[in-house]
Structure 1
Amino acid sequence: MKVTLMHYSIPPIVGGVESVLAHHARLMADDGHDVHIIAARGEPWTEAIPLQRAPLVDSRHDEVLAVKAELDRGEVTPRFEALRKAIAAELAPLLRRRDILIAHNICSLAKNLALTAALAELYQAPGFPRLILWHHDLAWTTPRYRSELHDGYPWDLLRWQWPGATHVVVSQLRRRELSELIGVPQEEIAVVPNGVDLAAFYKWEPETLDLLKRIGVAHRAPILLLPVRLTPRKNIEFALQTLAALRRRMPDAALIVTGPLGAHNPANVRYQEELVALRSRLGLQDAAIFLAEWSDVFLPDSVIADFYRLADALFLPSFEEGFGIPLIEAALSRTPIFCSRIEPLTELGLDDVFYFDPQGDPEATAEQVAHALGDSAVYRFASRARTSFTWEQVYRRHIAPLLVAHQHPIGGA
């Protein structure tokens, strides 16, 4: 579909709405949509998403500010009408033959009411794109904006129903406020949360990002990390058995084993084959990931550190260890630790980790993991954040269905 997003400005202009719009545009373009942006300030970041610069769309254009000063005093002068007409003339050709227009905050705030009025005029003309109004803030319900508002036109456009348009808000609070403000039932107002770019937030290495895209487990929870080579003394079969039991309690649980084959024992090839067969018998093909199957190069420490930041827990079922550096790495990553009750792990972990018998019952160990994580508010919120509030999940769950619901264009001249 031909989707146009509009706001006063875009990155690198700093602002919450600017950042959100940029993520929306990227995700829509990645999903195959023809995405354009209308804004006054900012710079395009890719040729795939053209910026159609419209100077009068700005909130800081000299004429816009002059008219706003009059409006703030409650004065609607011929200057406002002239600006409205100029903006309408500026926008009309940019919106021709577009399927959807998504306007961010333009019909919510009094930053450029001539723009709001121009949009209202164009919206009521034949051939206008389907309109989605994305409300991040609401002037009429926020005390700090009251000095800018007066009864009547054009301020009432900020509490107009915009019949036929789709209203989107970013929280349940905004939904209740908007419903009361414009008289639209709450169930007719979509709630689409904002998200977080995990790769940028964690500063993932390019190699990490590539691996995560291919293995597709970043949305799972909990993710158990086993940063070891594939050698029998690491007792990886116990980790697989525990994962199978854990998934009966936490169905989206996953395990990532980061290491390659052990370097010095040819029998390790057979051990890997046995692990792959066990994984298949346990039905864990998509849940237990051996990075050795996805990369034939040595993964540097920086990439392994990325997986610590992603993981919900370290799971280390070794029969023996010489020291136990993964415990230190997990501790520095603020990652909960579940490990074998063996020396020297007990020397390192003291009373600050969860221990289990590496030759014990995987069911009991799975129950221990499920209970400990389930009791952790940090884990519960972190897992919700990763599985529900990344931009990819926000797009898949909320934005893509919203676009599909508008897939039949009204038309255009």
Structure 2
Amino acid sequence: MKETIGILHFTAWPVAGGVEMMIASEARALLDAGWTVRIVTGRGDAIDGAEHIVIPEMLPPSRRDDVNAPDEDSVRRLSALLARALQGCGQCWVHNILTVDLHPGLTVAVQRLVDKETDISFVNWCCDLSAASAFVDGAFRGWMIEWLTTQSDLEHVAISHVRRHDLACALGVNPDCIPVVSPPCDVLEWFGLHPGTRRLCDALDLLQSDIVVLVPAKVLPHKHLELAVEVGAELQKLVRLGRVLVSGGLSPHETERSCQLRETLLRLISTSGAENTVHFLADGEGSYLESRVVRELIGIADIVLLPSFEEGFGMPLMEAAALRVPVLCSDIPAFREAAGQSVRFFPTDASSGVIARMALAIAREPVNADRRRALGSFATFTAGVTHVASRAGVAAPAS
């Protein structure tokens, strides 16, 4: 079974650039799905779990006039180094080397490998395209496309529909035959999330959920957490995957009362059938989430829900505002005092169905829907990456 996928580019992370970031995401997605990954670049650091081979000759020459005519000896050396680096790979994903005229010697070396290596399926990942750029000298545009048009068995992937259109026009093919896999926002890395937050994201599929509602409240009667549970039960009827997360633990001052209420709430979760939606994150007496984890969960949430009957103030409203996360809360004086202009209120006797629909409407407002799309983009990207890997002929190892 062919299980190793080689990834080629001029450079790898931490060299700053969109392609380098996407390659890191590709590697993580493939590794998580069970493939072995080998990254081959001219510069960069290793990615946890992936093999990494550095071939300095893959770096583009610093002077543009040095790239007009590839030196045959250099091409042969690069071909040999690449062939050795890719031994055992079932696929080779080539990023920009076949479409961007930065290092013609490397391009020719890869072209020869494609022509020669019958045991490797090559995939041309088109992130940039010299043939479509107004900033590339016309003398440098055509020769790469001429070779690509002769490669009927070469798979192509574009990072956007715009780039797919550019590549299809250059090759004279139907755009529909070129899949689009757009780079993700790798939230776990971009936010630098705490390990505890990462575990919750993975365990509860928070980044793939349709809506995440965070209730940052301790388990006390005046917090009206019964309503949060009932809202979770209603959301189950409205979305494919919803989450209502209660981040506060038991009260250290009223432990017995808090424990009794928690048991009541757990029974309510069970009787309402909301076990998959409503989750108490601080489990047991003396258990609390770190403030950093709570802050990161607010940043991931679509809505902060505060259903209290009474409060002395409303600090979570300010914390959510600082992170630009919408707040939906009961209409009580303390929340009115702490709230800004964007907070949405509901009467203290509002039904859970009304509040659930309010929450969903807020989550679907354009700016909030864009956040959710970005948060879920890595899952979408992973599906695209694994589809490309399977389509090109490498099956994931059996788990």
For the residues of structure 1 that align with 2:194 and 2:341, how far apart are their CA atoms?
33
Distance 2:5 2:262 in 1: 49
Q: Distance in 2 between matches of 1:342 and 1:283?
A: 29
Q: Which amino acid aligns with 1:122?
A: L
Whether contact under 8 Å (2:11, 2:43) holds in the other structure is yes
The yes-or-no answer on 1:115 pairing with 2:101 is: no
Assess if the C-alpha contact under 8 Å between 2:362 and 2:368 holds in 1.
no
Rate the CA distance shift 1:219–1:66 in 2: closer, same or farther, 3 A. same
Aligned to 1:132: 123
Change (3 A) 1:50 1:363: closer
**SS of the residue 1:84 aligns to:** helix
Does structure 2 retain, via aligned residues, the 8 Å contact 1:327–1:348?
yes
Matched, 1:198 2:187: yes
Change (3 A) 1:161 1:168: farther
Superimposed CA distance per residue, residues 257-290 of structure 1 (whole angstroms, 9 cap, x where no aligned partner): 0011223141322321221222223222222111
**Pick aligned residue for 2:32 from 30, 33, 36:** 30
Q: Is contact 1:113-1:155 (8 Å) kept?
A: no
Residue pair 1:244, 1:282 contacting (<8 A) in 2 also: yes
Any conservation in 1 of the 2:131–2:145 contact (CA below 8 Å)? no
Does the Cα contact within 8 Å between 2:249 and 2:284 map onto a contact in 1? Answer: no
Could you give the per-residue CA deviations for residues 318-372 of structure 1, whole angstroms, max 9, x where no partner exists? 1111212111211222121111111211222265421112333212222332333
- Tell which deviates more after alignment, 177-186 or 188-197: 177-186
1:287 corresponds in structure 2 to: 277
User: Which residue, 392, 400, 406 being the options, matches 2:386?
Assistant: 400
SS of 1:137's equivalent in the other structure is coil
1:239 paired to 2:228: yes
Give, as a single letter, the amino acid of the residue that structure 2 aligns with 1:279.
I
Assess, with a 3 A threshold, how the Cα gap between structure 1 residues 294 and 100 changes in structure 2: closer, same or farther: farther
Q: CA deviation at 1:6?
A: 0.6
Range that drifts further, 296-305 or 132-141? 296-305
Q: 1:309 to 1:161 in 2, by over 3 A?
A: farther
Structure 2 contact 236–277 (Cα < 8 Å) conserved: no
When residues 13 and 201 of structure 1 are mapped into structure 2, their CA distance, relative to the original with a 3 A threshold, is closer
TM-score by length of 1: 0.87
In the other structure, the counterpart of 2:58 is 57
**Are residues 408 and 206 of structure 1, via their aligned partners in 2, closer, same or farther at CA, if it must alter by over 3 Å?**
closer
| Structure 1 residue 96, shift from structure 2 partner | 2.6
The residue number in structure 1 matching 2:17 is: 15
1:161 deviates by 5.1
SS in structure 2 of the partner of residue 267 of structure 1:
helix
**Aligned letter for 2:372?**
S
Between the aligned partners of 2:235 and 2:393, the Cα distance in structure 1 is: 41
SS in 1 for 2:179: strand
CA distance in 1, matches of 2:333, 2:65: 75
Deviations 1:125-152 (A, max 9, x none): 253411111110111011111345265x
Q: Distance in 2 between matches of 1:296 and 1:104?
A: 51
The RMSD of aligned alpha carbons is: 2.4
Checking the alignment, whether the CA contact within 8 Å between 2:250 and 2:287 is kept in structure 1 is: no
Among all aligned residue pairs of Structure 1 and Structure 2, give the percentage whose two residues are the same amino acid: 24
Tell me by how many angstroms 1:208 deviates. 2.1
One-letter amino acid of the structure 2 residue matched with residue 53 of structure 1: V
> CA 1:295/1:378 → structure 2, altered by over 3 Å: closer, same or farther?
farther
Shift of 1:117: 1.9
Secondary structure, aligned partner of 2:238:
coil
Query: What is the alpha-carbon distance in structure 2 between the residues aligned to residue 373 and residue 210 of structure 1?
Result: 24
8 Å Cα contact 1:39-1:55 kept in structure 2: yes
Structure 1 residues 251 and 150: CA distance shift in structure 2, 3 A: closer
Q: How does 1:13-412 map to 2 (within 5 A)?
A: 13-46=15-48, 48-60=49-61, 67-68=66-67, 71=68, 76=69, 80-149=71-140, 151=142, 153=143, 156-157=146-147, 159-160=148-149, 162-263=151-252, 264-293=254-283, 297-349=287-339, 351-374=341-364, 376-387=365-376, 389-390=377-378, 392-395=379-382, 397-408=383-394
The residue aligned with 1:6 is 8
Residues 110, 139 of structure 1: 8 Å contact kept? yes
Note closer, same or farther for the CA distance 1:283–1:325 as it changes in structure 2 (3 Å cut).
same
Q: 1: distance between equivalents of 2:366 and 2:161?
A: 22
Is this contact kept in 1: 2:145–2:170, CA < 8 A? Answer: no
Within 1, Cα distance between the matches of 2:255 and 2:83?
Answer: 71
1:175 and 1:166 mapped to 2: Cα distance? Answer: 13
Deviation at 1:294, TM superposition (A): 8.7
CA positional deviation for 1:42 = 2.0
CA drift at 1:189: 0.5
Question: Please, which moves more after superposition, 281-290 or 311-320?
Answer: 281-290
3-state secondary structure, aligned to 1:344: helix
Are the aligned partners of 2:7 and 2:93 in contact in 1 as well (CA < 8 Å)? yes
CA distance in 2, matches of 1:125, 1:54: 20
Describe the SS at the equivalent of 2:6.
strand
Consecutive unaligned residues of structure 2, counting only runs of 5 or more, are none
CA distance in 2, matches of 1:179, 1:123: 20
- What is the CA distance between 1:114 and its match in structure 2? 2.2
Q: Is the 8 A contact 2:145 2:171 kept in 1?
A: no
C-alpha contact 2:99 2:126 (8 A) present in aligned 1: yes
Cα 1:408–1:324 shift into 2, 3 Å:
closer
SS at match of 2:249: coil
1:2-33 deviation digits (Å, cap 9, x = unpaired):
11111111122222212211221233223322
